Structure 1
Amino acid sequence: MPTATRLAHRVADLFGCTRAEAEQYIQNGWVSVDGHVVEAPQHPVDGEQVTLDPDARLEPVEPATVLFNKPAGVDAIEGPDMAAAHVTPASHWEDDPSGQRILQRHFHRLTPLVPLDREASGLMVLTQDGRVWRRLSEDADEIEHEYLVEVRGEIAPYGLHRLGQGLEYRGRALPRCKVSWQNETRLRFAIKAVRDGQLRDMCRQVGLDVVSIRRLRIGRIPIGKSANGAMPPGQWRYLPVGEKF
């Protein structure tokens, strides 16, 4: 009777590679056991058929970063309906330009970053990568965000100028930001160091009520578009390795 062994051992023996290389192949989803991809090097095998994808490449096992188009009503970081639960293989954007292959390990321990109001929609980030976490946490106030804010009401005299400079929020003088009308009911903000509730309060100070808020961009990273249009709400794509906020 065959003796069970670790999958990494079997791959190394079958395909003439080192144990470390075998583990890379497995963790990157290139190895199947009886036709099913297995990503765990310690997975026990005995008589099963073990195959290596003919397109397999030796490459580092990289942590994943996901860009999610959060719908309004979904909690970004805390709450009963958290965004991380919506990031599944089924909700992956079919026009994702990253070329990244979906792996089960990409859905483990995804940390949500960059808060977004429950009522707001748009781009948010979930990551396994400590480098991304540090960038979006430690340098958060230096990264510009772009928002599209739908409003109603009549803006106060010099209101657009006041939105760009001179307002306060919770006792703090707000830094300058860029604000422009996209159309008669939508304002586009390019702003740094934004706090929860700040955009609604800024608009209220110049006589406008906010109908909706959508985040379009964080730093250099947008929600994403293809020939078929923007990535739909409730779907996600990978941040390609090497792209920075």
Structure 2
Amino acid sequence: MTLIALNKPFGVLSQFTDAKSPTSRETLSDYVQVPRVYPAGRLDRDSEGLLLLTDDGRLQARIADPAFKLPKTYLVQVEGVAGDAALDALRRGVTLNDGPTRPAEVEAIDPPELWPRNPPIRYRASVPDAWLRLTIREGRNRQVRRMTAAVGLPTLRLVRWRIGDWTLDGIAPGTWVRV
């Protein structure tokens, strides 16, 4: 069995080919040349961080399937001040257009020491931002972004840091390790 932890850079598709675009967009094949591994779950093109790839179909399903409630932790830079009301709403769960979310674990954190993003996050001196550590146990499409927006904190940068016991710690952007 092969299990790979990749630090997926911003702008990279969570698939090995890009049949939909007439222009060439970066895919996993630009970073991982290991045969017969597939992503266990997805990470949006405009998100960064931990993506697990495996050749074990059962493990892939266990990681990706929300039924297993594997915790996924994100470092999220949001626009605005993360006040108690917004954090409490995330902890209770918010209602999105596809229904209520499960409660999240969330805390405001100091800005983490991360690599620079390319392209950089827009900076506006008149608009404050904040960082959150947010853990969910489900995986809807763009869920973290939609949750923070629902409480008035649009996401500026989203980095998945942990999936279950696997972490991004020590893995540079665009590189991977066998775990």
Q: Does 1:71 align with 2:9?
A: yes
Which has the larger share of helix? 1
For residues 169 and 203 of structure 1, what CA distance do their matches in structure 2 show?
11
SS of residue matched to 1:148: strand
Work out whether residues 84 and 112 of structure 1, in 8 Å CA contact, stay in contact via their aligned partners in 2.
no
Task: Return closer, same or farther for 1:199/1:138 CA change in 2, 3 Å cut-off.
Answer: closer
Letter in 2 for 1:194: G
Work out which of the residue numbers 32, 44, 58 in structure 2 matches 1:87: 32
Q: 1 or 2 for the larger relative contact order (CA 8 Å, sep ≥6)?
A: 2
Q: Is the 8 A contact 1:151 1:185 kept in 2?
A: yes
Match of 2:73 in 1: 146
* Greater C-alpha Rg: 1
Structure 1 residue matching 2:133: 3-state secondary structure: strand
Q: Which residue of 2 aligns with 1:234?
A: 174
Aligned to 1:210: 155
Consecutive unaligned residues of structure 1, counting only runs of 5 or more, are 1-62, 89-106, 225-229, 240-245
Deviation at 1:140, TM superposition (A): 5.2
Q: Secondary structure at the match of 2:156?
A: strand
Alpha carbons of structure 1 residues 124 and 166: separation in structure 2 relative to 1, 3 Å: closer
1:164-175, aligned counterparts within 5 Å? 164-175=91-102
Aligned residues: CA RMSD: 2.0
CA apart distance, 1:169? 1.8
**Structure 2: gaps of 5 or more residues:** 19-24, 111-128
- CA gap of 1:141–1:165, structure 2 versus 1, over 3 A, is farther
Any runs of at least 4 consecutive aligned residues in structure 1 with deviations exceeding 4 A, and if so which? 138-141
- With normalisation by structure 1, the TM-score equals 0.58
Aligned to 1:33: none
Q: What is the identity percentage for the equivalent residue pairs of Structure 1 and Structure 2? A: 30
Tell me by how many angstroms 1:157 deviates.
Answer: 6.2
Using structure 2 for the length normalisation, give the TM-score.
Answer: 0.78
